[in-house]
Structure 1
Amino acid sequence: MIEATGLTKRYGSTLAVNNLSFSVASGKVTGFLGPNGAGKSTTMRMILGLDNPTAGQVRIGGKLYHELKEPLRTVGALLDAKWVHPNRSARAHLQWMARSNRIPAARVEEVLDTVGLTSVAGKRAGGFSLGMSQRLGIAAALLGDPEVLLFDEPVNGLDPEGILWIRKFMQRLASEGRTVFVSSHLLSEMALTATDLVVIGKGQLIAQSTTEEFVARAAENTVKVRSPQLPALRQQLISASAQVTDAGEALIVSGMDSAKIGEIAASANLVLHELSPQTGSLEQAFMQITGDAVEYHTGLEAEARQAAAIR
């Protein structure tokens, strides 16, 4: 488990993280979301002891990072895929890390195989593509078979097959009881990967909840209804205090669930051809809830946020 309490970080006059408190439970993939400049990378660096907090603290399994003996056995992290000596082979890089934490050399070959790099293990890491570098970074994170894993933008540079692989892999790690904390700008991917979310903006906590609760909080659920008797059905729904919007050959109904709509149609002897709940997306919810936490807006971004709020 990761527990952040009152976490604050100043760089001169810039307040990068401001009194941030949250927890990351084991057995789940927790997504770490926020606009650019929200303080996600700074927070991850403080979790790993790479930056010292101005105030507050982060504990991993009840301990500060610098209190961990052989930390790779407790925490594995991928923050910068290119953090490796370019002239060192993938295998040599992992062997050096393993020796520093008394990890058996055989573990190096295991993680190389896990991430699919066995065939290029002897090649210079400096010649790797971004996708291959990401896989090497994931291998390094797994080296000590840790209980806690942090990934910062782990799918950058991966092709669709690689993205699917890392999604299932993170979910499998969580199913083993590990703590998996991952940041990403690919909101559609986070919607498929993360069970829980920690959302920040301008260095402050905006929300901590399940992914489902976060989406439901921002997006009003609606029901799409099709019927050969739309005008009559529309009138019945309005009379029952539903909000009804015409959508071509269908109605979009809010303020009433599908069961109630079906009951109203049945009592009026009206035929239904479709009755399907419509839910919001993580992208919609993120844009709506973090709108005030974005430091710089382009014209297109402002239009997109306005459209998300209308939906």
Structure 2
Amino acid sequence: MIEAKGLTKRYGKKLAVDDLTFSVAPGRVTGFLGPNGAGKSTTMRMILGLDNPTAGDVRIGGKRYTELHHPLRTVGALLDAKWVHPNRSARSHLTWMAKSNKISPRRVDEVLDIVGLSAVADKRAGGFSLGMSQRLGIAGALLGDPEVLLFDEPVNGLDPEGILWIRKFMHRLADEGRTVFVSSHLLSEMALTASELVVIGKGRLIAQSSTDEFVTRATESSVKVRSPQLDRLRAALDRLGATVTAEDDALLVSGVSSEKIGQLAMENQVTLHELSPQRGSLEQAFMQITGDSVEYHADLESEAQRALATTN
């Protein structure tokens, strides 16, 4: 369990985290989302005692990180995959970490095997690709067999097979009853990985809820309808006051349930080939809810104009 209460961090005049309160429960994967500059990395650093809060408190299993006697046995973290000394091998790096927390040397080979690095265990970490470095960082996080795990952008540099592996792996860790807290900008991946969300913007809490609740609250639901008599059905829907949008050979209908559309089709002798509720995406919900919290907005039209002028 991770519990943050009134967590605040200032860097001079810059307020990076502003009175942030949230909790991360065991037994599920909790996604940590927010625009660039929202304060996610600063928050994770405060959880791990790397930055001291200006105000507030954050605890892991009821204790501050600095109060943990052998911290790697309680919490494992991957914040920066490239922090390893480049001249150390993967095995020597993990061995050094194990000795610092009185962890059995046998565990080093176990985690190397878990993340698929056994074959390159004695290679210099400086020669690793970003994906291999990510796997080494995950091995370090697992070294103490901790109950709490924090990952910052863990799929960076991984190929599709690696992304699928880390997704399934996080689910397995949560199923074992561990607390898994993961930050990522890949919202499509977060939609498949995280069952709970903590969403922040400009250092403040925007939402904490299940992923399904977050998407449902932020996006408008609709129903996709396909039929050989779409014109007849659309006229009936218009009379009902539904919002109807044509999409290729189908209609997207909002403001009316799929049950009501089916009833309407039957009453008007309309054959249905498809009647499927459409759920908004996590990306749509995120953009809708965090739009006012984005610190740096891109002027896409100006960028396109500049690019066109450069090519002419």
> What is the TM-score when the length of structure 2 is the normalising length?
0.94
* Residues 1:249 and 1:128: Cα distance change in structure 2 (over 3 Å): closer
In structure 2, the residue matched to 1:270 is 270
* Residues 1:265 and 1:5: Cα distance change in structure 2 (over 3 Å): same
In structure 2, the residue matched to 1:148 is 148
1:283 counterpart letter in structure 2: E
Once the two structures are overlaid, the 10-residue window that deviates more, 264-273 or 219-228, is 264-273
In structure 2, the residue matched to 1:245 is 245
What whole-Å deviation, never above 9, does each CA across 1:238-274 have from its counterpart, x for those lacking one?
2233222233432211011111110111122221121
Structure 1 position 137 matched with structure 2 position 104? no
What whole-Å deviation, never above 9, does each CA across 1:59-81 have from its counterpart, x for those lacking one?
11111111111010000000010
How far apart, CA to CA, are the structure 2 residues paired with 1:196 and 1:237?
36
Alpha-carbon shift at residue 196 of structure 1 (Å): 0.6
In structure 2, the residue matched to 1:223 is 223
In structure 2, list runs of 5 or more residues that go unmatched.
Answer: 304-312
Alpha-carbon shift at residue 99 of structure 1 (Å): 0.8
2:159 counterpart letter in structure 1: D
Query: Which structure 1 residue ranges, 4+ long, deviate > 3 Å from structure 2?
Result: none
What whole-Å deviation, never above 9, does each CA across 1:19-65 have from its counterpart, x for those lacking one?
00111110000010111111000000000000000000111111111
Q: Equivalent residue of 1:37, what SS?
A: coil
Alpha-carbon shift at residue 301 of structure 1 (Å): 9.0
How far apart, CA to CA, are the structure 2 residues paired with 1:146 and 1:96?
17
Give the count of matched residue pairs: 303
How far apart, CA to CA, are the structure 1 residues paired with 2:47 and 2:302?
33
Structure 1 position 298 matched with structure 2 position 306? no
* Residues 1:141 and 1:301: Cα distance change in structure 2 (over 3 Å): farther
How far apart, CA to CA, are the structure 1 residues paired with 2:138 and 2:232?
59
How far apart, CA to CA, are the structure 2 residues paired with 1:233 and 1:42?
53
2:59 counterpart letter in structure 1: R
In structure 2, the residue matched to 1:283 is 283
In structure 1, list runs of 5 or more residues that go unmatched.
Answer: 304-311
In structure 2, the residue matched to 1:306 is none
Correspondence list, 1:38-117, <5 A: 38-117=38-117
How far apart, CA to CA, are the structure 1 residues paired with 2:243 and 2:215?
20
2:47 counterpart letter in structure 1: I
RMSD (CA atoms): 1.4
Q: Equivalent residue of 2:261, what SS?
A: helix
> What is the TM-score when the length of structure 1 is the normalising length?
0.95
In structure 1, the residue matched to 2:118 is 118
In structure 1, the residue matched to 2:174 is 174
In structure 2, the residue matched to 1:3 is 3
* Residues 1:134 and 1:64: Cα distance change in structure 2 (over 3 Å): same
How far apart, CA to CA, are the structure 1 residues paired with 2:274 and 2:119?
52
Q: Equivalent residue of 1:29, what SS?
A: strand
* Residues 1:126 and 1:301: Cα distance change in structure 2 (over 3 Å): farther
Q: Equivalent residue of 1:290, what SS?
A: helix
In structure 1, the residue matched to 2:163 is 163
How far apart, CA to CA, are the structure 1 residues paired with 2:124 and 2:139?
16
* Residues 1:294 and 1:302: Cα distance change in structure 2 (over 3 Å): farther
How far apart, CA to CA, are the structure 1 residues paired with 2:217 and 2:281?
11
Structure 1 position 207 matched with structure 2 position 192? no
Q: Equivalent residue of 1:59, what SS?
A: strand
How far apart, CA to CA, are the structure 2 residues paired with 1:79 and 1:258?
45
How far apart, CA to CA, are the structure 2 residues paired with 1:300 and 1:176?
45
How far apart, CA to CA, are the structure 2 residues paired with 1:226 and 1:163?
35
How far apart, CA to CA, are the structure 2 residues paired with 1:126 and 1:149?
25
Q: Equivalent residue of 1:287, what SS?
A: helix
Q: Equivalent residue of 2:87, what SS?
A: coil
1:31 counterpart letter in structure 2: G
Alpha-carbon shift at residue 233 of structure 1 (Å): 1.2
Once the two structures are overlaid, the 10-residue window that deviates more, 28-37 or 243-252, is 243-252
How far apart, CA to CA, are the structure 1 residues paired with 2:201 and 2:139?
30
User: Taking every aligned residue pair, what percent have the same amino acid on both sides?
Assistant: 78
How far apart, CA to CA, are the structure 2 residues paired with 1:65 and 1:94?
21
